[in-house]
Structure 1
Amino acid sequence: MLIESLPTREREKGHENGREKGSDFSELSRRITDAGLLRRRPLYYTLRFGAVALALGGGVAAFLTLGNSWSQLLVAVALAVVFGQLGLAAHDLAHRQVFSRRRPSETGGLLVANLLLGMSYGWWMNKHTRHHANPNHEGKDPDVSPDILVWSRRQASKAEGLPRFVGKHQAALFFPLLTLEGLNLSFSSFRALRSPSMKRPVLEGTLLVAHFVLYFGGLFTVLSPGKALAFIAVHQGLFGIYLGSVFAPNHKGMPMIEEGTRLDFLRRQVLTSRNVRGGVLVDAFMGGLNYQIEHHLFPSMPTPALGRAQVITERYCAELGVPYCQTGLLASHREALRHLRSVGQPLRDAR
C-alpha cells in the first residue's frame, strides 16, 4: 500500500502553508510532557530487568542440572523467550528509556546485545535509528529494503534471483523464514564490524566472540553433538519467531511512503504505524512495542507510560482528523501477511 492510498486531504496537510504542521506535534508533545509521561521509571526497569536476569540465570542452571538429556529442548524453548526479552531490553536501552545519559545506555546495550544475545549493538542502533527517521519509506527505511522479501510491488517488479522466487510465496514462507532471524542478526553483526560506521569494532567484536564461545562451548560440552544441534535449532528458531512476532505487526501492511512524498513528523509516524491491543499479556509479550505509534512519536518514553500516552495520542489524532490504526494481535498479523501476498502478486502473475 502506497501513501497515495490515503485521503488526499491527509497528504496535503503534510505541506500546507499557513499553520506549520510541525506545531501539531508540538501541541501533542506539550500534553504528553504535562502528563509527566517522559519521566524515567527506575523502579520499573529495576524490577523488569531483574526478572529477566533471574529467568536467564534459572535457564542456565536448569541447563547445567539436566546434563546430556533430550529434556534440554524444553530449556531451549524457555531460553528463546528469555532471549526475546533480552532483545526488548536492548531496544529500550538504545532508546535511552532506561537511562537519560548516553554512557550507561551504551554500556548496558553492549552487555545485553553483544555479550548476551550475540548481536551488535552499534550495527543495530544505526539501522534502527534510520528506521525511526523514515518508517516505511522506500529507499530510506532499512527495514523495508528488498532482501529476501519484497515490501512493495515496485520492489517485486525489480526482484531477481532468490528474492524473486521467495516473493511469489512470501506470505506462506514468512514465519518459516523467521526461524533464521536470530542467526541472521548475528551474521549481519559480524559483517558490520568492517563497516566505517562502526564506532567500536574491536570491543563489539570481542563481546560477540565471547558470546559464541560461551554459547557453543557450553552446548557442545554438556550435550552430545546431535542434542546440541537440536538445541540450537529449537532455541534460535523460536527466538527468531518471537522477534518477528513482536516487530512485524508494527509497520508491515501499513502505507509505504514513496520518494518525494512530504509529510510532517506527526503524520509520518502515525500513518505508517499500527498499535496492537491486548492488555497486560500483550504488553509483556511485546515489551510495550504494541504501542508503536506512541513509541515512534516519543522514542525515549519509558514503557510503562505508553498506555497513558496512547489515550492522549488517539484523542489528539481524532481532533486533527489523522487516521489512527489500532487492532488485535492476530488481526495485525493477518494484515501483514495479506500485504506480503498482495505485493508478491506481480511475481505470481509473471509466472
Structure 2
Amino acid sequence: MFRLKESWLLPSFLFCLVLSRDLPAQKLPEASSGPSVSWQYLTASPPGDYTGPERCRSCHKPEFAEFNKTVHARLAAPGKDYITGCEVCHGPGKAHSDAVEAARGDDQKIASALKQFPIFAFRANPQENAARCLTCHITSKQQDSFAHSEHAAHGLSCNQCHATHLVDEIKDQSKGGLTYPQAYFFQVPKLADEVRWLHNSLLKRSEPEACYTCHRTIEAQFALPVHHRVPEGLMKCTDCHSPHSSLNRASLNKPYWETCVKCHVEKRGPYVFEHPAVKVEGCVICHNPHGNTNRMLLVRREGRQLCLQCHTAFHGQLGVPHGRLGFAPGGECVRCHVAVHGSNWDENFLR
C-alpha cells in the first residue's frame, strides 16, 4: 500500500518541480518573406532630386499642417532617409520647387514651371491614382485586389473617399440631408471632423455619409421606418461590405448568409433540416437588408405571400387543405411552420 501511494505521488512531485523552473520566453516567428518592394518606384530617382518636406511647407502650409498629423508624415523609404513626408506620395520635388521659386511670384512663370516640372498631384485617371496608393497599401483589408473591385470598375480611386490632408474636404452642413425619425430619440454622438478623420482611415466623410455620396438609393432605404441602425451610428456599411474588393455578391465581406449570421448568431445553425432558400440565395431572398416599411425587413407585406414566392404549389389555393391532417392554409404560414430558418426536430419546420 505504501509503495502504491509513493508511486502515485512521484509524478505529481516531478510536475511541480518542472513548473518551479524558469521557462524561456516565447519568441515571435521570423518573417518568412523578404522586405517589401513597394518603395522601388521612389528609389529609382537619385538623392539629388529630393528636397524634403520642410521646403514644401513654404507654399503648402494648410496641407502640410494637416498632413503632419497623420502617420504618413512619419514614413520614410527603408535605407533612403532622404525620401520622407510629401515626396513619399508625390514623388521627387526639387525641380518643381526650384522652378516655382525662380518664378518669384510671377503667375505666368509659375504656371509654366508647374507644367514643365510637375509632381504627381493625384489628378490623373483613377487607375493611376489608385496605383500610387497601392504601391504601399497592398497587404491589408483586401486592398491588394482593389483593381478588380466594383468601385474600380466604376472609375473610383482611393482619393475620392480618403484624404491624406483634410483641406476643403469638410462636408457643407448647410445643405442638410435626409432626417431619420429614430434620430430624434437616439443617435451616437459624433466626433469633430478632424478627430474622426484621423481615427477613421482618413475618410473625407464619416460612414455612412461617405457611401451616400454615390449610393443615394440606399440612403433613401435607410430613411424608411424599419432599417438596420446605420443612420444612428450603431452599425457601419463596412461591417457588411468591403469597399476595396470582394469576390462575393454586393461586395459583401462574407458570402451570402454568413454576413448576416455574424450578428444574428441564433440563426447560424447548422440545422438537421435546413431551409434551402437560406443556404442557396441567402437571407436577402426574404429580407431587405437596408430598410423597408414591413416588419422584420421582409420584402413582402404579408408573410404568406413571401412564402408563396417559392412554394408555388399552394399559390392561389389558400383555402385548400394540405398536409396529413388537412389544415387549410388561410392564415400566416409561420403560425405552424415556426422554425422557418431551420429546425433540428421537424423536416417541415413545425418546431
**Shorter-chain TM-score tier:** under 0.3
TM-score computed with the length of structure 2 as normaliser: 0.21
> Highest relative contact order (Cα 8 Å, sep 6+), 1 or 2?
1
TM-score computed with the length of structure 1 as normaliser: 0.21
Larger helix fraction of residues: 1
Q: Which has the larger radius of gyration?
A: 2
